[in-house]
Amino acid sequence: MWVVVAVATGWLATRFMGTFARPTALTNISVAIIGGIGAGLATRGVLANLGYENLGIAGIAGALLGSCLLIFAWQALSRRQV
Residues 26-72 have pLDDT tens digits of 777 777 778 878 887 888 888 888 888 777 787 788 888 888 888 88
Q: Are 75 and 19 in contact (CB under 8 A)?
A: yes
Which of the four pLDDT bands, split at 50, 70 and 90, describes residue 21?
Answer: low
59 CB-near residues (< 8 Å, 6+ apart): 5, 40, 41, 43, 44
Exposure of 82 by Cβ count < 10 A (0-12 exposed, 13-18 middle, 19+ buried)?
Answer: exposed
Cα 79 from Cα 82, distance rounded (Å): 5
Q: Report if pTM > 0.85.
A: no
Cα 63 from Cα 66, distance rounded (Å): 5
The pLDDT of residue 23 is above 60: no
